[in-house]
Structure 1
Amino acid sequence: MPQIWLIVGASRGIGLEFVSQALTLGHTVIATARGPSPASTLPPPPSQYGNASQLWSLTGTPNGHNLKILECDVSSEASITSFTEQVRKLGRKGGVLEKGVIDVVVLNAGVLVYPNRISEITFQTFAHHLHTNTIGPLLTAQHLLSLSSPPPAVSKTPISPTWGPSTPISIRTLVFISSDSGSTTNFRAFEDGFGAYAASKAALNQGLRHLAAELERKRKNGENGRGEQERTVVLALHPGEVSTDMANVSLDWEVEGIISPQESIGCMLKVIGEKGWGGIDEGGRVSAERKEEDGAATFWTWEGKRYPW
């Protein structure tokens, strides 16, 4: 059944492949890139929008008419705020979100500056990893989740009388792309040079777990403005050792089990379908090996296996 997906960080790598495969499945996709939004609906010239050109090229595919591209830089609070307001506008009459539901949000934005050894890294580079891999995705999720409540009564942005007010927008499944480097119980000491990256992903994992717990508490207490039955399933996903330009670094050890973006995304789509909202194993409740609180976030590999936090 066609769904509405929002992919944050879609200009290259696995984010781009997420968009491509979701479109192929017939879904409507809202995707983001860091480049400026064009004034027209035509794809911008590659020289002007850099790495977003591959994303724009998908508008020319058979289902490209189902693709909406917005600007978002998760390392900038102003950009996150502006992006959220653009999403809100899509909830107006005639917009792709007029029914008030985003089935799946994938927060894929990330950075890896190698090496990032803790004993050598600069303040600026460490902060860059934390802003892009941790703070940005979590605050982007926070802003998007706020769309489930009516907009403030006072707004600096005038509402077009043609479109009318925006519909509150709910998110059914919220997916954070994490990494096995972020597991604190399965420490990978041999990954010399991944200190800041691992720290940023470990912090992301803890942050999203707290987010899931907060959402569940608000749901039960009737604080989410959507009713007790309206829940958001929060998942963390490890995409595997994917061959992308971000992972194209010279390492002192052999990386085993390298897979293509196509294989990784194909498998993760299946995991999201099973573990996400309304899935046969929603949130891992059926396959859970131990008792967990309702609404707890769960961590999965691209193969659908539970991964330790």
Structure 2
Amino acid sequence: MRRRALIVGASRGLGLGLVARFLERGWDVTATVRKPSPALSDLAERGPLHIATGIDIDDDDAVLGFANACADGPDFDIVFVVAGVATQAGIPAGRVPRDVATAVFQTNALSPIRFAEALHGRVAQDGLIVLMSSKLGSVSLNRGGGWGSYRASKAALNTLARSFAGQHSGARWGVLLMHPGWVRTDLGGRRATLDVDTSARGMVAVVEARLGQRGCAFIDYTGATVPW
């Protein structure tokens, strides 16, 4: 039986790259997007790909509707929440408009956890819930500052994920927080050191090796532990 992966936020960048790599490795993939993505649709020829359109992780009704639609289907071995934003990340946090900072926190920290709460019942025995974090969310590694609101949102995600894992300490699945590396995407920019394919291949290999783990870990695309 094929293993099943759910990739949340798969229209482009790392989400799209993860879909391609999971299909390449023989997985059955379900991918969510807010709007139709021709690039994602083009991957259907590579393997079993199911696309759910109109899923915005900041929209509780859309997430609940998707969870209900999954209720009668087979469980997912991996649920990987990729969606995130870096709006006005270069502006010091004290000068970011409050509504912008609130929106970043909601999308990067709160909504992934709400999605995990909605879908955790559809995670298979020995499966994983993977949340895209960042090394910038490490409090102990933050020595130079910069990207304050983005850093804070990812640090908040890490804390909420540990709380989520603790609240589900008897669960049959584990939680991973994943740093993808500095990747050349719309968020990472052109100066980044990794291409999408290298990062995605690494992440897929790491999560496959981690299937069956319990608790919560913070790691990067090579499998190395990232300090909290």
TM-score range, shorter-chain basis? over 0.9
Deviates more, 1:299-308 or 1:111-120: 111-120
Q: CA deviation at 1:142?
A: 0.2
| Aligned residue identity for 2:52 | L
Q: Mapping of 1:191-210 within 5 angstroms?
A: 192=146, 194-210=147-163
| Aligned residue identity for 1:307 | V
Quote the Cα distance in structure 1 between the aligned partners of 2:165 and 2:172: 10
The higher radius of gyration belongs to 1
Match of 2:108 in 1: 133
Q: Which structure features the higher share of strand residues?
A: 2
State whether structure 2 residue 107 is matched by structure 1 residue 122: no
Give ranges in structure 2 of 5+ residues lacking alignment. none
Structure 1 residues 109, 171: closer, same or farther in 2, change over 3 A? Answer: farther
Q: CA deviation at 1:276?
A: 2.6
CA displacement, residues 47-106 of structure 1 (integer Å, 9 cap, x when unaligned) = xx3xx22111212x232xx101113101111121112112224x1xxxxx2xxx211110
Structure with higher RCO (Cα < 8 A, 6+ apart): 2
Work out the percentage of aligned pairs sharing the same amino acid. Answer: 30
Quote the Cα distance in structure 2 between the aligned partners of 1:176 and 1:215: 16
State whether structure 2 residue 211 is matched by structure 1 residue 276: yes
Quote the Cα distance in structure 1 between the aligned partners of 2:30 and 2:52: 7
SS in 2 for 1:32: strand
SS in 1 for 2:52: strand
The answer to whether the 8 A contact 1:104-1:171 is kept is no
Match of 2:18 in 1: 18
Quote the Cα distance in structure 2 between the aligned partners of 1:242 and 1:200: 19
Q: CA deviation at 1:137?
A: 0.5
CA displacement, residues 187-217 of structure 1 (integer Å, 9 cap, x when unaligned) = 1424x2x11111110000001111111111x
| Aligned residue identity for 2:211 | G
SS in 1 for 2:93: coil
Match of 1:88 in 2: 71
Match of 1:224 in 2: none
Match of 1:94 in 2: none
Structure 1 residues 267, 147: closer, same or farther in 2, change over 3 A? Answer: closer
Structure 1 residues 15, 171: closer, same or farther in 2, change over 3 A? Answer: farther
| Aligned residue identity for 1:136 | S
Q: How many residues align?
A: 226
Determine which of 70, 87, 93 is the counterpart of 1:113. Answer: 87
Structure 1 residues 302, 178: closer, same or farther in 2, change over 3 A? Answer: same
TM-score normalised per structure 2: 0.92
SS in 2 for 1:119: helix
Give ranges in structure 1 of 5+ residues lacking alignment. 36-48, 92-96, 149-168, 220-229, 250-254, 283-294
TM-score normalised per structure 1: 0.69
Quote the Cα distance in structure 2 between the aligned partners of 1:83 and 1:232: 20
Q: Which structure features the higher share of helix residues?
A: 2
RMSD (Å), alpha carbons: 1.9
The answer to whether the 8 A contact 2:183-2:189 is kept is no
Structure 1 residues 110, 171: closer, same or farther in 2, change over 3 A? Answer: farther
Deviating runs (4+, > 4 A) in structure 1? none
Quote the Cα distance in structure 2 between the aligned partners of 1:188 and 1:55: 38
